[in-house]
Chains A and B, each alone.
Chain A
Amino acid sequence: MMPQIPMLLAQIDEKVRELTSANAHDTPVPDEAMVHEGSYWFPRVASSYASDVDFLFMAIFWISAVFFAIIVGVMIYFCIRYRRIGGKIEPQPSASHNTTIEILWSVLPSILLVWIFYVGAVGFFEMRISPEDAEDIQVTARKWNWSFTYPDGDISSELHLVRDKPARLVMRSDDVLHSMYIPAFRQKMDVVPGRYTYAFLMPILDGKFRLACTEYCGEEHSKMRTMCQVHISEKDRKENTQWITADHKPWENGERLYKINCSGCHKVDGTPATGPALNTIWGEPENLIGKAPRLVDHNYVRESILYPDRDIVEGYGPVSKMNSFQGKISDKDIDYLITYMQYLKTGEVVELKDENATDAAAPPAEEPAQAPAEAGTGENN
């Protein structure tokens, strides 16, 4: 069916996929979610309303196809039938207007348009109005990360849903406009700073699907992609989203915090992005703009998170592109992030000496600032 050129391109496509698979860390979307498994026009049908959207799409498609075929068919027929032959330039006599036919071809398509509008509106309300029993999932979008907070306090950087369980996303943005789009659900909603917006999700198929930002939000807009995983049961989801507990090693907690808060701008494979990579810098000196080099230690990391304007690494200026995380991240979380950076650098597992960490049900700690056990002797707060 396909001519030869696409075959050639498909081969190039394979090559490129091999070459770029090394960059898979760029996006937390698993390969299985990126392979097209849907129909010609659509990704898979994974939400309750997706098939209604597809039905209307195909209905409009065939209505349009028929109209288009008639228009182009008539046009081509007239061009052949009434082409100018020889020197005879005078046309055959025919009417220059006909009110009946004008009104007919204005009114008849209108009836179809009313139908399309009606079906579209019904489908729209189905997509927008959440049922009473939907669980609320808080969504925070920021350049260029997603974070999802579940009713039980768990947080994750990917969206985890349970099959056949309705969910309402309550979304806000920390910075600019974003838009939450899950193609397999056919669902999309802008995330607007300064107000909440809602999106209703009703997954009917388990698996991993893409979730992408579709409102342009700056430099790494195209990297603001993550995964929506639909689990077969609540238990299954619980195992996947389990948040900070003593059962996890501190660096694992740090890794989760990193994925939710930092991974949009900082890589952990050594490559520079909007900010420096975090895997190699622990304990090393950083060259700062307009200041003496400074060692990356506990205080440096803490200050960088809470006061990003103070020290700017050379090559990432002239002013900081990072927003402060004051009030968004606790001191305990900073401890975890530090252990993650240490782990990345040395592979060494640092144990945090903290009695609260044994309380598995505790939400992210909010106790007053305290230095971790092995913190340096930096005296500033």
Chain B
Amino acid sequence: MGTTIKATPEIFGHAENNFFNASSGWKSWAFTLDHKRIGIMYLIGVTTALFLAGVFALVLRSHLWIANSEMLTPAMYNQMFTLHGAVMVFAFIIPSIPAALGNMVLPMMLGAKDVAFPRLNLMSFYLWVIGTGCLLYAILAGYGLDTGWTFYTPYSIETESGVIYATAGAFVLGFSSIFTGINFLVTVNTMRLPGQGWFKLPLFIWSLYATAIIQILATPVLGITLLLLISERLMSIGIFDPRYGGDPVLFQHFFWFYSHPAVYIMILPAMGVISELIAVYSQKRIFGYSFIAFSSVAIALLGFLVWGHHLFTSGQSLVVTLIFSAITFSVAIPSAVKVFNWLATMYKGSILLATPMCYALSFIFLFGIGGLTGLFLGALSTDIHLHDTYFVVAHFHFVMVGGTLTALLGGLFHWWPKMFGRMYNDMLGRVGCFLVFTGFNLTFFPQFVMGSRGMPRRYATYDPEYQIFHQWSTIGAFLLGIGILLAFAVLVYAAFKGPKVGGNPFKAASLEWQSSSPPDFHNFLHKPVMTDPYDFDAMVYDEDLDTYIHREFADPAKVPPRVEPIHH
């Protein structure tokens, strides 16, 4: 296929005319239908939520510095851990990678101009704003919220705190998540570049697609559950409240029927990001593409069948408990398969330890611990001992922070030059990554020991024997906080003052890199050439633009011969 397009900076290099200055004025952002602008607004939103909930976490950790701390009253402590959990889960982690990074990248990875339903996309963002607002209103209006992010009945029916505002907020955030899911599902199904079959999709798309399936199928159950809880509080309908013949354990089943799949909403997109990073920074075709792709779908489907492992001590029947334990172990396999494939991808690669790759390696380390400690909790007898202790707290933080937050940061560093057309300081980026990694391990590793020694979670005061572990954990938390601040400082500085960079500085092969940086309002000023997302040999260096472009657009006289045979 010959092409007549000449490789100019406007098309492949650093573009002065881009989606940032395509239009101006606050309305051009507030009413934008551009997926890139919505992605950036989402990014600002979820980052704000991250910092807010992070401050709550540091307050909690400071309180726990000594055993019988009086820094917070028990009531304030309970509100603080509830808000930390609720804001982190509903307002930050669930929308973080899909809505912020996914919005930015997904249409471009398909060579498309935008998502299938741009208005629905904007509405999804505003629902996020309203939902998060409701959640925060519970605090600002003085109601507080002290149920834990899980809203377990009957405590959530009895408490005088702002349960209705908070659950209404989570309900609205659920719709925001559903809308993003529908949008991505339809976009991937209908808007792929001609010739881009399912197995020519970047693995990030596969993971977002699997995530979208969960978002659409599971989130409505959360909505129903929260509406029932609100009805129970307002009208005493007697479905969860034992005083009216209801069953509080039923709430746990309903809640985890959503919230366990939601764990995969949080981690699957992160795994997708890591697949991209490992391949690009090893310059290697991803190993076992179809195994990684189908493992995402397998995790999404199996994820629906394991919610009962949150109820091993709740009094559910022994047989049901046994079945849930067995299915839980089956989820371990596709997760392990992904890790092995990432390692195999690095084999004989050309590995560059740039900031995104450092985050990817850090992800493998932390997710490895998070995943393996899941075995202790999936096995029945050990779970009885560890359930509702700090061991569980450490386990899910390793998965959600060590996993999702690390992947989000890695993804941001990877796609930042694409979004802003400017490069970050790689050394400072790596220092930030090191601080995040060290601080994180220092925070959460001692919690495994505490938990196994019998420290229950959600305790405002505790026995003195655990104090030394709590102090390690608190020191780590502040280090982690500094690391995250540094990472974002490096990114924000780069967005405004970083050196300008061309369309494809990392020699990546997925379609979004065949545009200028920052991309044009229309994403591509030319029809992108369909290429395998892991065929890095298809990209060649262009000296005039100081960036990598597809062979099709390069000067035929300067194109080196293909090293790798073309794969199908």
Contacts and interface: CB of A to CB of B under 8 A. Distances in A.
Interface of A: 6, 9-10, 12-13, 16-17, 20, 23, 26, 29, 34-36, 38, 40-43, 49, 52-53, 56-57, 60-61, 63-64, 67-68, 71-72, 74-75, 78-79, 82-84, 88-98, 101-102, 105-106, 109-110, 113-114, 116-117, 119-129, 175-177, 179, 181, 183-184, 186-190, 192-195, 197, 210, 212-223, 319
Interface in B372-424: 372-373, 375-376, 378-385, 387-389
Given A78-B351, A110-B333, A176-B158, A219 B376 contact: no
B290 to A, nearest CB: 7
B221 interface: no
Contacts of B361: 75, 79
Contacts of A319: 160
* Shortest Cβ-Cβ A-B pairs, 6 listed: A183-B454, A194-B242, A123-B381, A120-B379, A124-B380, A222-B459
B452 interface: yes
Contact of A36 (B242, B291, B453): B453
Contact of A192 (B75, B249, B288, B453): B249
Contact of B336 (A35, A109, A194, A213): A109
B152 A177 contact: yes
Contacts of A194: 242-243, 246-248
Given A96-B567, A221-B459, A71 B364 contact: yes
Contacts of B154: 175-177, 193
Contacts of A78: 343, 346-347, 349, 351
B438 to A, nearest CB: 14
Nearest to A50: B385
Interface stretch (B223-231, B300-308, B461-469): B461-469
A102 B288 contact: yes
Contacts of A124: 318, 321-322, 325, 380-381, 384
B382 A53 contact: yes
B39 to A, nearest CB: 29
Contact of B464 (A13, A71, A92): A13
B260 interface: no
Given A9-B468, A120-B381, A190-B313, A89 B350 contact: yes
Interface residues of B, number: 100
Nearest to A63: B375
B460 interface: yes
Interface string B44-62: 0000000000000000000
Given A75-B364, A78-B343, A220 B388 contact: no
Contacts of A123: 380-382
A134 B563 CA distance: 75
A49 B333 contact: no
B556 interface: no
A82 B321 contact: no
A64 B461 CA distance: 32
Interface stretch (B265-273, B277-285, B429-437, B510-518): B277-285
Given A90-B563, A187-B384, A214-B388, A181 B288 contact: no
A176 B382 CA distance: 26
A122 B326 CA distance: 13
Contacts of A129: 318
B295 to A, nearest CB: 9
B454 A181 contact: yes
Interface string B24-38: 000000000000000
Contacts of A88: 350
Given A193-B242, A212-B456, A219-B78, A188 B350 contact: no
Contacts of B290: 97
A57 B376 contact: yes
B353 A83 contact: yes
A16 B454 CA distance: 21
A223 to B, nearest CB: 7
5 contacts: A60-B379, A68-B369, A91-B282, A113-B375, A221-B460
A369 to B, nearest CB: 26
B339 interface: yes
Contact of A16 (B75, B313, B340, B464): B464
Contacts of A20: 66-68, 464
Given A43-B454, A79-B351, 16 more contacts: A10-B468, A20-B67, A36-B453, A53-B385, A64-B373, A89-B283, A90-B537, A91-B282, A91-B349, A120-B378, A124-B318, A183-B453, A187-B384, A190-B315, A193-B154, A215-B388
B159 interface: yes
A84 B357 CA distance: 12
Contact of B384 (A60, A93, A109, A127): A127
Contacts of B349: 78, 82, 91
Contact of A53 (B337, B339, B346, B384): B384
Contact of B456 (A16, A17, A96, A181): A181
Nearest to A8: B471
B242 A82 contact: no
A89 B506 CA distance: 10
Contacts of A223: 74, 461
A184 B246 CA distance: 34
Contacts of B465: 34-36
Contacts of A109: 332-333, 336
A38 B384 CA distance: 18
A113 B383 CA distance: 15
Contact of B67 (A16, A43, A72, A177): A16
Contacts of A183: 385, 453-454
B545 interface: no
B136 interface: no
A297 to B, nearest CB: 30
B128 interface: no
A64 B468 CA distance: 26
A222 B368 contact: no
Nearest to B148: A216
Interface in B229-286: 242-243, 246-249, 282-286
B249 A82 contact: no
Given A41-B453, A194-B248, A96 B283 contact: no
Contact of B379 (A36, A116, A210, A217): A116
B555 interface: no
B425 interface: no
B287 A82 contact: no
B379 A218 contact: no
Interface in B451-487: 452-454, 456-465, 467-468, 471-472
Contacts of A79: 346, 351, 353, 361
Contact of B381 (A26, A67, A119, A193): A119
B496 interface: no
Contacts of A214: 387-389, 456-457
Nearest to B379: A120
Interface in B113-172: 146, 148, 152, 154-155, 158-160
Interface in B291-336: 291, 313-315, 318, 321-322, 325-326, 329, 332-333, 336
A34 B322 CA distance: 33
B468 A127 contact: no
B365 interface: yes
Contact of B315 (A125, A184, A187, A195): A195
A74 to B, nearest CB: 5
A109 B334 CA distance: 11
